[in-house]
Structure 1
Amino acid sequence: MTGIIVTQSNIFISRYPIKPGKRDAFLAIFNPLWQNATEFMQENANFVFYGFGRDPNVMVAIESYKNEEAVNAIRKTDAFKQLVSQMLDLCSGPMTMELFNGLEMGPDIFDVYAQGKSTVHPQTATNYAEFL
């Protein structure tokens, strides 16, 4: 099924725990990152949400792409590697990613992205990304 109901793709929910007082600096990096990728996302994403929950220092990204090739293409760009590294350095702990597979998808994605420290995201001297 296509449209607003997604059952044939995976979804990532990422949480960035931003250091107190660093929210503006974080957003100054994050906003141009996604704003410069809107055309790519319109072509390759099922949906994308960026925002905050009850904690104003935890930025949440909820993303679902049409296929893993699109996700991998994003991660290979220099902009992604450099800017995500800068964002991670502004976090008080690891960026965590929770992964969900669509109703019509098999569990293979959980083998691709095993629990623990991410091997597909940049790592810095002070921080990293982690799959839950």
Structure 2
Amino acid sequence: MSSGYHAIPNLIGLYAERIDAGDYAGVGELFAHAVITAEGRDLKVAGADAARAMFEAWTRRYPDNGTPHTRHVTTNLILDVDDDAGTGTCRSYVTVFQALPDFPLQPVFTGRYHDTFERPEGTWRFTRRHMITDYVGDLSRHLNQSL
């Protein structure tokens, strides 16, 4: 049974790795037992299929390699884990960088994640992700919809 202090940052890292790879089905799997919400928006997405569909609808993928040409950098993780109870929370910052041949590398989004986790049957998983937008740059190449 792994400690939440190791498993939770790994889940957060897997999210960044999968979304940057354009693996929206894999992102959906991470949120199979979770609800995703967003500050100031009427958004409530629950389960793997709904999460995959949301990221496919919102996040552009490019035909050259099937990715959004982004790097999600998650920092300032503040973990609160109760390994005995199998529960945890994490607050973190996210900065999304994007680069394309005609779009120089730049930050296009910053925000925060407020996540909760549980460990049923020994495996840690997301139960909630609340997304907060702080600063927005040029999202014209990243999102299919406006924030």
TM-score (normalised: structure 2): 0.25
Q: Structure 1 or 2: larger strand share? A: 2
Q: Structure 1 or 2: larger helix share? A: 1
Higher relative contact order (CA 8 A, sep 6+): 1
TM-score (normalised: structure 1): 0.26
Which protein is bigger by CA-based radius of gyration? 2
